[in-house]
Structure formats: structure tokens, C-alpha cells
Amino acid sequence: MPALTLTHDGFQLHGKPFRILSGGFHYFRTHPDQWADRLRKARLLGLNTVETYVPWNLHQPTPDGPLDLDGLLDLPRFLELAQAEGLYVLLRPGPYICAEWEGGGLPFWLTADANIRQRSSDPRFTGAVDAYLDLLLPPLAPYMAASGGPVIAVQVENEYGAYGENRAYLAHLADALRKRGVEELLFTCDQADKAMLAAGSLPGVLSTGTFGSRVGEALETLRAHQESGPLMCSEFWIGWFDHWGEPHHVRAADDAAADLDALLSAGASVNIYMFHGGTNFAFTSGANHDHAYAPAVTSYDYDAVLTECGDPGPKYAAFREVIARHTAVPDEPLPKPSPKLPPAEVRLTASANALVCAEFLSPAEHFTDPPAMEALGQGYGFVLYGTELPAIGDHVLHFTGGVGDRAQVFVNGAPAGVIERERHEDSLHIRSPEYGARLDVLVENMGRANYGPRIGDPKGITGPVTLDGEPLENWTCHRLPLDELPALPLRTTDTPVAGPGFHRGTFTVDTPADAYLALPGWTKGVAWVNGFSLGRYWSRGPQRRLYVPWPVLKAGENELTLLELQSATTRVAHLVDAPDLGWTARD
């Protein structure tokens, strides 16, 4: 019998009435050495539960490889820390998680096969899911409530009603969890919409809703769909995510608190999305694609209860006051902001041309036509493609399948232009100075779609390339996943920062503390501190600074590395003590 059970209008935990007061906190978006701090702050808010997704794509990076449960992915350790703090856990293992996460959590090696029907009862898809669950669930068994652990409920799928209508698929997932020993309560979540709830629900499995406002209307829709049992908002949206080039989203604390109070006054359970958002480190941010491709920024601050660095935001006190009206909250001092590094400059004194560095990062591979990134067995980062131009003068370079997602074009090493998927671009005027001139195309995966029918969109050059309508062939490719930074041939220089290049500098820290990396004068690229990838920066905004977690720093000398893709007017970066997530729609 599961620890968490249902009554006609609520939950019971071990036979006693229980209301879920949960907060979303994705372990993989926060440095592991900071998990305990965030969990303590959840308890102090008055929460009794935390919710987390599980990113399949990171935990199983190759189809036949072992499960990765180290570092940011040490889910057992996260569950242990939650239990030590006295918190229960809502586990959302996928296979699909959305979460504004790369590919919605589906592995690139699975979505690369266009013949597989994703999120369906296609046996090729469910077979891959089964193999994943075979790896994931055994190490999590000790943390299920049936074994005395903190996990009291497990999600079957994620907002499936917004994607499809395949009851056999949902039933397969529920059965797969049960067959692998999951005794806990199962639930689905869907937007508070009649059709979506109908398509995404499964008989015998609790249906929950996702919404951020119009609480009374949403709960009425949920009750009309499910005549008895607890009402639960499994994602109470108190903020929103950001795309590059769009405003930063914010929601007033008093407005969100009023809706939280309405939820709790109605007797509903809740999962606040997000309690703590964190950061899309490295290349993990996803994208949306409605009328145009829209990649997500590095920060997942989400205007959450805790800020990106874990400090209590304006919603912390407001929400705690609301929760205290409905249940007891800990009689302990409220958490304070974390220490911050004093502002400092970092001069990047060593550089190397990134096109030249490609030879150090991976060997050249040869193809008649340029392959997509997935065909190279690569999921993230960049691919450098090269060939020779068979003509001289002015020409039209055309990418027949477009690019995924941003291509910088060079002729004999000189910039010729940029092709951006989000601008619906696929052609470029180039000038060849000689027969046999070198054409290089550096393509960046800016994030796979995490929502809708385009989940798992291909990356790199995704079709033949023509010059004035004639195919260009005989390509070389260098894989540049940049999941690790090898030794690079950097040299001390004071020349201007122009063209794709790696740049490195050092700075001294007395005592590690949180900081933000500000890059005024730099254009677009990726930043690492001591080899830890902070993620992407882009002058396009809205986000203007990258969060530097204190655990990636060390007392003494530290190293900052930038891959600047275009140019910079300076060789100086800045460590500052506050974020800058950019302009808002109200600015």
C-alpha cells in the first residue's frame, strides 16, 4: 500500500490527513554543494515537500552507456538531503519533462531517429524508456516511501494532453513503473483545460492541474474532470522563463501570494513552480518554436521564491505569510542572502583562434555532404564544417535544410556573415577571392525544442549546401561538444578580440562566495570558471550577467575562460555582486 493515499477530497499520509505544500527545485540546475541550503530554505518557508524532474538526456547520454549519477546528477544524494531536512519528494522521472530544458529531457540519440514516434506507444520509443527505467529505478528504490524514503508520489508523464492522446502509451508508462517496484501514488499533470485533462489522464491515476492564475476557474475544471479525490495544482506558475531577445518576465509578489492564498483556502494541495529555479549550466537550456525558433537564456531564475543564487526574493516573505495562515511554519530565523565576492576585474591575457583550436579539440572527419550534429554522435555544443569553394567572385550560399541553430560563415578565415534559424534565414551572399578558397561554417546548437511537435529538432547543418544552386561536396567536420576544456594553444597577447576565439585570464579569491560574471563589451559566447561551464552569454539580452556559484571557486588563483564567437571591445571581464536579468515588459 502506498504511503500517500487518497480520500474523497484530500490526501492521507500513513493514514493521517496531509496537504502537499511543495516547491519545485531541480537538483540538476543547482551545484550539489548548495542543495542542502536550498532544501533548508524550503522547510523554513513552511513547505513539507519538494518536487523535481529527472533529465533523462543527462542521466543516460548514450543509448548503451551506464546511468550517470555523479555530481549535478547525484539524485540519490539529493533525496537523502531532502529526507534529512524532513521534506518529502514528488518525483517526475519523465520520460519527457519540458522544463525549458534541452529537448524536454529526451535524449538526442533517441529523437535523432525521425522514424520513431516520440511520446507514443511506438515500441522503439517505449523500449528505450523501459531500458532507461531499468537503469534509473533500482538505485532509487531505497528512497521510495515504501522503503522508508522521502518519495511519496511519482509522475507518469508530463502535460501529455498538450501533445497527444494515446491512452495505451500512458498505461504502458504506469505499468512500467509498477513492474519495477514503484508502489507509491502515481499522478499525471496537465494544464487546467478540459480537453488536455481528458487526453493526458489515465484511469486509476490521480490527475493534477498546472496553472498560475484564475484559481477558482482552474479548480472547477479539475473537479469537473475528476469528481472525487484531492485537488492539486502540480505547477503553480509564480513566474516565467525567458528567451534571448525578449523581455525578462516578472510577477508581483502580492499578486502571486493572493493566488496562493486562494488555492490553499480552497483546500487544494500545491507545488510552487518554481521555489528555486537555478541555472541552465553549459548547453542545457531548451527552446520553444511557435511562429519562430526561440532559445531560452542561461538563467532559470523564473522570478522564483529563491533567486538564482538562492537568496530569498520578494515572494519568500509574502508566501510564508500566506502559508502561516493555513498551517504552522517553523519558528526559526528567516534565511539571509548568501555572501558575495567583492567586485573585481579579470583581464583575459591569453588567446587562441577557435577555428585553429578545432584541430586540438577533435580530429577531422570527412564526408561527401555535411552531416547533422546527431549523425556525428554529438548532442550539444558546436560543429565546425569546412570545404573549398569551386568558384571566384560573388555567389549565393544556400543551406537547403536550414541550420540548427546559428551558423557563422567564413571565407579564408574572414567573416562572411551569420545565418540564424530564429530569423528564418537560410541564404547568404559571400565573395570568394580565389578558386579553392576555404569555406568554414561554425554551427551552434542553441537548444532543442522542449515543447510541442518540434521536440528533438536536428542540429548542425541539416541538409545539402549549394553555391548558386550547385551542391557543395567534400566536407570536413570537427566535433566541438566542449563538455570538457582540453589544453589549448593559448598565447599571451594584447591584440583586439575579433572572430571566434578562446580567451583566458586569472583572478584571485580570498574566500569563495557567490558572484556574477558581467561581460560589457563582449558579444556572444560561452564562459567557464575553473573548467565549470557557466553557460552562454549574449549581448542580445535580456540576461546580462552569468551566475558563478561559490563552490566552483577556490581560495587563491582561479581561471576564467571565454569562447567569444564574434568580437569584443575589451579584454576585461567583471565579477560583481548582483544579477542583471535585463529589462522587463514594464520597463
Provide the annotated active-site residues: 159, 235
Contacts of residue 415, defined as CB under 8 A and 6 or more positions apart, other chains included, come to 408, 409, 499
Cis-peptide, bond into residue 446, ω within 30° of zero: no
Are the CB atoms for 479 and 508 separated by under 8 Å? no
Q: What's the CA gap between 431 and 37, in Å, rounded?
A: 56
Contacts of residue 137, defined as CB under 8 A and 6 or more positions apart, other chains included, come to 177, 180, 181, 182
Task: Go through the chain and tell me how many residues it has.
Answer: 587
Residue 345's closest CA among 491, 492, 520? 520
| Beta-carbon count within 10 A of 344 CB | 14
Dihedral sign computed on CA atoms, order 295, 301, 302, 303:
negative
Residue 472's closest CA among 426, 444, 427, 439? 439
Element (H, E) at 408: strand 406-411
DSSP letter for 561, please.
Answer: E
Are the CB atoms for 188 and 222 separated by under 8 Å? no
Question: 425: which 3 cell numbers?
Answer: 534565414
Question: 72: which 3 cell numbers?
Answer: 549535478
Give the DSSP per-residue string, 252-316. -HHHHHHHHHHHHHTT-EEEEEEEE--B--TT-B-EEESSSEEEB-SB--TT-SB-TTS-B-HHH
Are the CB atoms for 50 and 40 separated by under 8 Å? no
Residue 573's closest CA among 560, 586, 563? 560
Give the DSSP per-residue string, 417-447. EEEEGGGT--EEEEEESSTTEEEEEEEE---
| Beta-carbon count within 10 A of 291 CB | 6
